[in-house]
Amino acid sequence: MATSGVFNGTDLIVKLDTNGGTLAKVGHTTSCSISLSNDLPEATTKDSGGFQEVIAGVISGEISFDGLVVYDEAGTPTPKNAIDLADFLLARTKLDVSFGTEETGDSVYSADAFLSSVEISAEMESPVSYSGSLTLTGAITKSTN
């Protein structure tokens, strides 16, 4: 049953896969977000009556996430930890990604993507954390679970 009303952000997850298999959750995330953009080239002419006009251009997207580092949770063949993500970035691996809940009937956004950044941060007397950003490439599709 689809999620209704205001819901807990814990339900939103990012899933990745590298080889056309089953998508798996990015491990130990604490937050995630998706940003979709539409480039709007200006199409104003002398006939626009002094008002700006635009046309729909290139659509793009980015998924960002933060989490806690857990070294001893290997991710073969799918990512479980920040080290796997850094390896994907260094190898320039194209990933299958999805963003949504696991609740039947909820919307899920899917695309191919490349990791554009991975950061691992360590503050004294605090858990080691990581963050990453995926730049979507090609078509972005919306479906339901």
Of the candidate CATH numbers 3.20.20.70, 1.10.1740.10, 2.30.110.20, 2.60.40.10, the domain formed by 9-40+54-139 belongs to 2.30.110.20
Question: Cα separations (Å) of 17 from 20, 74, 76?
Answer: 7, 14, 10
Contact 77, 103 (CB under 8 A): no
Q: In this predicted model, what pLDDT tens digit does every residue of 39-96 receive, in sequence order?
A: 999 999 999 999 999 999 999 999 999 999 887 765 555 556 788 899 999 999 999 9
Residue 36 to residue 63: CA distance in whole angstroms: 9
Q: pLDDT grade, residue 21 (50/70/90)?
A: confident
Give the sheet arrangement for strand 13-17, strand by strand: 24-25, 13-17, 95-100, 107-121, 129-144, 59-68, 29-38
